[in-house]
Chains A and B, each alone.
Chain A
């Protein structure tokens, strides 16, 4: 009775599906969050009668064989890179990326991580840091006496000082793009890390070909679409229930067998 374990693979797959959907809903207001999707594939097949086997000397063949599938497996949990909606915050250090690219962040261990969450802040010495206090690369220090900070669409950071008409250029934010964004490893805290699947980063500045532009005073919201997530949740729950029915039916058939005398 393979139906028992086939039903179990189906239930496990839908459980994971519900977990991925719950995570999307939980992150519906997370800056720069990209929705995820669980993708499934059919598992192995047992070929009990191979299709195309000869059935006689005269060359007739089996038009269709006996192939029994053994259930379902998770193929991938992929990220959907669609642009999130931009929300106005008016905060001088909030920057949103419109188009492809990631901000570079230096982790405490020296590694570089990548993020699309541009809700930056200042450290005690004036360095631009993420919400976790990790410095944004390249390091840009805003002097304490700066009156106002302006970030251009190309990511150039200017500061205005008292008594000066011209703003002072403090540096330029750099961006990284990857051939396969889906290959990045999610680290949590809105951070991603490079892997062999993502390929090496291409470093550039905003506005170059292949890079997005930077908008000061905005944040990129999550691209989770709650309506479609809820619909997916309903579908996942029903699929889960139906798979439990397979198990129930297989169980009842086994029960019938045990009543054999």
Chain B
């Protein structure tokens, strides 16, 4: 009879995860290039001990995984020549100490040597993995839709845009970076200069999901409470006999 308590507990543990993911999406409501995370649950079926007395099985909920919603975020015009957004699928490759990483956050800068870098100082590369070096004093920087960087009319490099056959296999690393064990393939998506892709988190959806999660959590609590009442009732009645 205690099973209902365990089932409710499994539900509450799952909902606890769900609220963490929702809270993280809301915290990143204004993070450039952020992609919302979604949770998936699956049923875990526990078979009864004696098959003769079927249906004697319980199914509880376990978290199967999280997946990323790769819908595009809204584009925001910044007017900054070193801000870029990708129109369509794809990522900018970034060379970090730990290896190549991929990002959708195209708010880049120049470092003291004139290399195109992210906020963390990691060089942004072309599709082949070479950094983009701008000549000293470069001011008139124009980047075409294909990512080609020209300074005063001279082509100095091409910002890479790559994609993956299965973007869900990417691992989130934080700081807007993703890593992958699979090799990327070049993407045909256009690079837009002077724009930044905002977060694709939809606040209304997240808030309603949060309310739903809270109510579900409280409902599961009701199950625990009534089971407790039943046990108490039984103890009292049996004690009277």
| B partners with A | yes
Chain A interface residue count, Cβ-Cβ cutoff 8 angstroms? 74
C-alpha gap A10/B34 in the complex (Å): 14
Q: Say whether A235 contacts B21, CB under 8 Å.
A: no
Q: How far is the CB of B152 from chain A (nearest CB, A)?
A: 8
Q: Say whether B110 contacts A39, CB under 8 Å.
A: no
Q: Say whether A249 contacts B221, CB under 8 Å.
A: no
Q: How far is the CB of B193 from chain A (nearest CB, A)?
A: 14
The answer to the question of B32 belonging to the interface, with a C-beta cut-off of 8 Å to chain A, is: yes
Q: How far is the CB of B121 from chain A (nearest CB, A)?
A: 8
Q: How far is the CB of B223 from chain A (nearest CB, A)?
A: 12
Q: Say whether A50 contacts B171, CB under 8 Å.
A: yes
The answer to the question of A168 belonging to the interface, with a C-beta cut-off of 8 Å to chain B, is: no
Cross-interface CB contact of A239 among B30, B40, B168, cutoff 8 Å:
B30
Q: Say whether B79 contacts A249, CB under 8 Å.
A: no
The answer to the question of A230 belonging to the interface, with a C-beta cut-off of 8 Å to chain B, is: no
The answer to the question of B200 belonging to the interface, with a C-beta cut-off of 8 Å to chain A, is: no
C-alpha gap A78/B108 in the complex (Å): 10
C-alpha gap A183/B109 in the complex (Å): 9
Q: Say whether B112 contacts A65, CB under 8 Å.
A: no
The answer to the question of B174 belonging to the interface, with a C-beta cut-off of 8 Å to chain A, is: yes
The answer to the question of A3 belonging to the interface, with a C-beta cut-off of 8 Å to chain B, is: yes
Q: Say whether A64 contacts B168, CB under 8 Å.
A: yes
The answer to the question of B66 belonging to the interface, with a C-beta cut-off of 8 Å to chain A, is: yes
The residue of chain B having its C-beta at the shortest distance from the C-beta of A11 within the complex is B27
Give the residues from 176 to 215 in chain B that come closer than 8 angstroms, CB to CB, to chain A. Answer: 176, 181, 203, 206-207, 210-211, 213-214
A13 proximity list for chain B (CB < 8 A) = 27, 30
The residue of chain B having its C-beta at the shortest distance from the C-beta of A260 within the complex is B224
The residue of chain A having its C-beta at the shortest distance from the C-beta of B224 within the complex is A260
Question: Could you mark each residue 114-132 of chain B with 1 if its beta carbon is under 8 Å from any beta carbon of chain A, else 0?
Answer: 1000011000000000000
Cross-interface CB contact of A82 among B20, B31, B80, B120, cutoff 8 Å:
B80
Report if A75-B175 is in contact (Cβ < 8 Å); known contacts: A182-B109, A238-B203, A246-B210.
yes
Question: Could you mark each residue 161-188 of chain A with 1 if its beta carbon is under 8 Å from any beta carbon of chain B, else 0?
Answer: 0000000000000000101101100000
The answer to the question of B65 belonging to the interface, with a C-beta cut-off of 8 Å to chain A, is: yes
The residue of chain A having its C-beta at the shortest distance from the C-beta of B65 within the complex is A64
The answer to the question of A152 belonging to the interface, with a C-beta cut-off of 8 Å to chain B, is: no
Cross-interface CB contact of A69 among B28, B32, B168, B218, cutoff 8 Å:
B28
Q: Say whether A246 contacts B26, CB under 8 Å.
A: yes
Q: Say whether B210 contacts A245, CB under 8 Å.
A: yes
The answer to the question of B10 belonging to the interface, with a C-beta cut-off of 8 Å to chain A, is: no
Question: Could you mark each residue 131-143 of chain A with 1 if its beta carbon is under 8 Å from any beta carbon of chain B, else 0?
Answer: 0000000000000
Q: Which one of A86-94, A108-116, A192-200 is at the interface?
A: A192-200
Q: Say whether B110 contacts A47, CB under 8 Å.
A: no
A260 proximity list for chain B (CB < 8 A) = 221, 224
Give the residues from 1 to 34 in chain B that come closer than 8 angstroms, CB to CB, to chain A. Answer: 12, 15-17, 19-24, 26-32, 34
The answer to the question of A252 belonging to the interface, with a C-beta cut-off of 8 Å to chain B, is: yes
Q: Say whether A259 contacts B221, CB under 8 Å.
A: yes
Q: Say whether A179 contacts B137, CB under 8 Å.
A: yes
9 CB contacts below 8 A, A to B, read A10-B27, A39-B119, A42-B34, A44-B174, A52-B181, A68-B17, A80-B78, A179-B112, A249-B19
Chain B residues near A (Cβ < 8 Å): 12, 15-17, 19-24, 26-32, 34, 37, 40, 63-68, 78-80, 105, 107, 109-114, 119-120, 134, 136-139, 166, 168-176, 181, 203, 206-207, 210-211, 213-214, 217-218, 221, 224-225, 228
Chain A residues near B (Cβ < 8 Å): 1-3, 6-7, 9-10, 13-14, 17, 37, 39-45, 47-52, 62-73, 75-76, 78, 80-82, 99-100, 177, 179-180, 182-183, 196-200, 202, 209-210, 235-236, 238-239, 242-243, 245-246, 249-250, 252-253, 256-257, 259-261
